[in-house]
């Protein structure tokens, strides 16, 4: 695709992103503002509802205070009476007092006083399974405390705290009838020890009258409810119930809460977001119009700019294409002081130095050939050959023919694989054979003090590699890591992804951190690092910098050498095998 089209598409994309982001954030800001305004308005209304409810609740508490703080009532309820005196106390004072309490409110109420004193008679103005507030409207009962002593809600009721201990709860069948009760102990307010109660008081009222001011008039589909501290719904009004809201999904509703003072209740309003955000549709239309106009404007500007820049880029491409075909005489001439002028000057300078770069590449190629020649010369280690021939001489002198034959055969195989008919690349199988031949020669010298284990994945035999990679590290083990005792060497090879990894591990003396650092940097001054440096440079020269040698060593424990090569399918011919060598045949002879 031409540069001009790409530039035009980039302008279109940027403009489209700008319009989309502008529309999104404009709509988000407006909706967020509407939500905040709605939340503030609903919060204020809920606060007013809560105040009205708390006033109704305080009115019921005031009725209970008429009994709680009446010392005459307390004394008569505690006094032990017999016969007529108990009846007289109830009819002349207690019943008129209870009657005045329930008549002091305009709402339906059921007052129940529970006594420990069983010398007073019980009063039953209402006592059946029906709702007392529906059946009797306003009524009172006086019963013995033992009737509720085993109820869990009574056992869990907290101790008295000087007139402050009271609870609003739904007990018995309150929830079924839609009622709620104010529970309170009766104690001697004139005594210093108010922990000892002589009775219990219950005032039951209708939820619909207590929460009369609760209204869901915030919008279509709104629900308002009152929840207790356990999340139980005490009262609810609205078009949709909580179950219906749960079916639709609470995420589709704006939820606002207002807690009650001195209670663990809260007033909760759920308002559909669709109703809250209905005015946002107008903003969306306006945003779409503005965004479309902006898109067309930016599109025109982008078309002009892309045409201007594409002409300059096309000219640069033509000049570079001529460079690709070997014509370096063309030059770029731009006016102005922008980046295109800098690019043109850089390209012109580059053309002037092309010949120099070619020369540098040519020199680098020569150095590569020289490095290959150096590695080839290093392959034939005169010290190794001298030592081996010396060992052969001794074996011949002492008449050890079998070992002599073994050493000569391995030496011939080693040098045949090393020379490899002048080729640098060798099959992995031949590289392993050469390493084994070298170790077999050394085993004649070191006998059972040298223990070698090869763990090579068979899959690696399908690939090829640069020759003389493993032998220098095996030689280093015997030359620098061996202490005279038995030494163990493990040669492992595996495929990792598209790479081959060889590891040579020994349990020799290891290296100090300083020696390891110098060797890992391929320091020319480190005697033991020559073979390692040679191998690393040949791998890097042939395959590139991602490949090469890494070493880990611990003094007194041993050394682990990791060699990483690419997986290159085998094309080099298989040079020889032990079987052919032992039979005295040349490779490929029948």
- State pLDDT tens for residues 507-524: 989 999 998 888 887 655
| CA 470 to chain centroid | 44
The C-alpha R_g of the chain, in whole angstroms, comes to 51
Between residues 485 and 523, which one has the greater pLDDT? 485
Mean pLDDT lowest for which of 165-169, 188-192, 411-415, 469-473?
188-192
Rounded-to-10 torsion of CA 157, 163, 169, 172: 60
What contacts 238, CB < 8 A, 6 or more positions away?
216, 221, 222, 223, 224, 225, 270
| Nearest residue to 146 (alpha-carbon basis) of 174, 118, 111 | 118
Residue 577 pLDDT > 60: no
Is the pTM higher than 0.95?
no
Residue 133 has pLDDT above 80, yes or no: yes
Largest CA distance in the chain: 144
Distance CA 287, CA 162 (A): 64
Looking at the predicted structure, is the pLDDT value of residue 248 above 90? Answer: no
Determine the average pLDDT of the residues in 394-400. Answer: 72
Please indicate whether residue 219 or residue 107 has the higher confidence score (pLDDT).
107
- Confidence band (pLDDT; 50, 70, 90) for 588? very low
The per-residue pLDDT for 135 is 82
| pLDDT for the residue numbered 590 | 38
Distance of CA 237 to the CA centre of its chain: 43
302 near 13, Cβ under 8 Å?
no
Own/partner contacts of 216-221, CB < 8 Å, gap of 24 or more, are 216/269, 218/38, 218/42, 218/45, 218/269, 218/271, 219/271, 219/272, 219/275, 219/276, 220/272, 220/275, 221/271, 221/272, 221/274, 221/275
Cα separation, 290 vs 303, in Å, equals: 20
In degrees, to the nearest 5, what angle opens at C-alpha 282 toward C-alphas 280 and 287?
A: 95
Are the beta carbons of 505 and 490 closer than 8 angstroms? yes
- Tracing tokens 């609903």 back to the chain, one arrives at 42
pLDDT at 69 over 60: yes
Residue 139, burial from CB neighbour count under 10 angstroms (0-12, 13-18, 19+): buried
Whether 103 shows a pLDDT value over 70: the answer reads yes
Q: What is the rounded CA–CA span in Å between residue 341 and residue 312?
A: 10
* CA separation for the pair 88, 120 (Å, rounded): 10
Express as a percent the part of the chain with pLDDT over 90.
Answer: 25
Distance CA 256, CA 467 (A): 79
Query: 568 pairs with which residues across the strands?
Result: 464
pLDDT, tens digit, 9 for 90 and up, residues 165-192: 899 999 999 999 999 999 999 988 776 6
Out of 26-40, 184-198, 462-476, 517-531, pick the least confident: 517-531
Q: What is the pLDDT at residue 458?
A: 94
Coil, helix or strand at residue 454: strand
Mean pLDDT value across residues 311-326:
74
Confirm if 156 and 34 have CB atoms less than 8 A apart: no
Alpha helices in 420-549 (DSSP H): 428-446, 471-476, 513-520, 530-543
Q: Is the pLDDT of residue 441 over 80?
A: yes
d(CA 282, CA 285): 5
Q: Is the pLDDT assigned to residue 9 strictly greater than 70?
A: yes
Closest CA to 81 of 94, 63, 69: 94
Residue 469 predicted with pLDDT over 70 = yes
Quick one: pLDDT at residue 580?
Answer: 54
**Whole-number mean pLDDT of the chain?**
80
Task: Classify 554 as helix, strand or coil.
Answer: strand
Q: What is the pLDDT of residue 587?
A: 45
Question: What is the pLDDT, as a whole number, of residue 238?
Answer: 76
| Contact predicate 22/293, CB 8 Å | no
The tokens 């989309």 sit on which residue?
A: 20
Residues in the chain: 590
Q: What is the pLDDT of residue 189?
A: 75
- The 8 Å CB, 24+ separation contacts for 371-376 are 371/537, 371/538, 371/541, 372/424, 372/538, 372/541, 374/534, 375/424, 375/468, 375/534, 375/537, 375/538, 376/424
Give the per-residue pLDDT at 586.
Answer: 46
Task: Look at residue 149 and tell me whether its pLDDT is greater than 70.
Answer: yes
Model pLDDT, residue 356: 66
Question: Could you tell me the two tokens for 441?
Answer: 């020669």
**Residue 99 pLDDT exceeds 50:** yes
Give the pLDDT score at 545: 81
User: Between 87 and 440, where is the model more confident?
Assistant: 440
Give residue 369's pLDDT band: very low, low, confident or very high (50, 70, 90).
low
Topology given in CATH for the domain delimited by 380-583: Heat Shock Protein 90 (3.30.565)
Instruction: Judge whether 138 and 98 are in contact, CB under 8 Å.
Output: no
Question: What's the pLDDT at 589?
Answer: 44
Report the 10 Å Cβ neighbour count for 2: 12
Annotated domain spans of the chain: 82-207, 214-278, 380-583
Q: Which are the contacts of 86, defined by CB distance < 8 A and separation ≥ 6?
A: 119, 120, 121
pLDDT band, very low/low/confident/very high, at 430 (cuts 50, 70, 90): very high
pLDDT band for position 585 (50/70/90)?
very low
Residue 464's pLDDT is 94
For residues 452 and 471, give the distance between their C-alpha atoms in angstroms, rounded to a whole number.
Answer: 13
- Asked whether residue 329 carries a pLDDT value surpassing 70, the answer given is no
Mean pLDDT of 358-383: 59
Mean pLDDT check: name the lowest of 5-14, 19-28, 291-300, 490-499.
5-14
């Amino acid at each position: 695709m031409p540069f001009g089209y790409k530039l035009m598409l980039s302008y279109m994309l940027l403009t489209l992103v700008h319009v989309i982001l502008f529309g999104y954030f404009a709509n988000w800001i407006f909706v967020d503002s509407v939500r905040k305004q709605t939340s503030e308005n609903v919060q204020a209304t809920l606060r007013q509802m809560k105040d009205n409810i708390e006033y109704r609740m305080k009115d019921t508490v005031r009725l209970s205070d008429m009994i709680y703080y009446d010392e005459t009532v307390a004394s008569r309820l505690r006094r032990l009476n017999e016969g007529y005196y108990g009846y007289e106390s109830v009819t002349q004072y207690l019943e008129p007092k209870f009657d005045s309490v329930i008549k002091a409110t305009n709402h339906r109420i059921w007052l129940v006083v529970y006594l420990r004193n069983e010398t007073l008679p019980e009063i039953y103005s209402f006592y059946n399974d029906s709702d007392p507030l529906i059946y009797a409207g306003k009524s009172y009962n006086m019963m013995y405390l033992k009737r509720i002593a085993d109820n869990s809600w009574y056992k869990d009721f907290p101790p008295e705290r000087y007139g402050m201990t009271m609870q609003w709860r739904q007990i018995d069948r309150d929830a079924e009838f839609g009622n709620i009760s104010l529970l309170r102990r009766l104690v001697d307010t004139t005594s210093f020890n108010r922990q000892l109660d002589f009775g219990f008081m219950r005032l039951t009222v209708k939820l619909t009258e207590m929460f009369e001011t609760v209204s869901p008039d915030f919008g279509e589909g709104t629900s308002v409810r009152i929840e207790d501290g356990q999340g139980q719904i005490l009262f609810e009004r609205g078009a949709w119930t909580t179950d219906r809201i749960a079916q639709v999904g609470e995420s589709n509703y704006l939820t606002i809460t207002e807690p009650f003072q001195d209670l663990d209740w809260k007033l909760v309003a759920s308002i559909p977001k669709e109703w809250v955000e209905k005015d946002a549709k107008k903003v969306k239309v306006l945003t779409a119009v503005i965004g479309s106009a902006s898109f067309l404007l930016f599109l025109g500007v982008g078309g002009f700019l892309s045409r201007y820049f594409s002409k300059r880029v096309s000219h640069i491409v033509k000049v570079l294409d001529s460079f690709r075909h070997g014509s370096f005489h063309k030059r770029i001439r731009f006016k102005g002081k922008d980046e295109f002028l800098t690019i043109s000057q850089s390209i012109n300078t580059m053309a002037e130095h092309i010949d120099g770069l070619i020369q540098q590449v040519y020199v680098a190629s020569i150095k590569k050939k020289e490095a290959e020649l150096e590695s080839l010369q290093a392959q034939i280690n005169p010290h190794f050959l001298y030592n081996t021939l010396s060992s052969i001489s001794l074996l011949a002198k002492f008449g050890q023919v079998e070992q002599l034959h073994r050493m000569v055969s391995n030496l011939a195989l080693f040098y045949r694989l090393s020379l490899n008919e002048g080729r640098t690349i060798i099959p992995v199988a031949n590289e392993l054979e050469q390493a084994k031949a070298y170790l077999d020669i050394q085993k004649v010298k070191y006998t059972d003090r040298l223990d070698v284990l090869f763990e090579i994945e068979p899959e690696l035999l399908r690939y090829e590699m640069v020759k003389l990679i493993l032998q220098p590290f095996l030689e280093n083990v015997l030359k620098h890591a061996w202490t005279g005792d038995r030494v163990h060497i493990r040669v492992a090879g595996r495929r990792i992804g598209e790479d081959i990894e060889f590891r040579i591990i020994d349990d020799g003396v290891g290296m100090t951190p300083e020696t390891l650092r110098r060797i890992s940097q391929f320091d020319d001054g480190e005697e033991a690092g020559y073979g390692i440096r040679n191998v690393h440079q040949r791998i890097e020269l042939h395959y590139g910098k991602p490949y090469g040698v890494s070493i880990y060593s611990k003094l007194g424990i041993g050394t682990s050498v990791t060699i990483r090569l690419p997986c290159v399918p085998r094309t080099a011919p298989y040079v020889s095998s032990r079987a052919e060598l032992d039979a005295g045949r040349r490779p490929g002879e029948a």
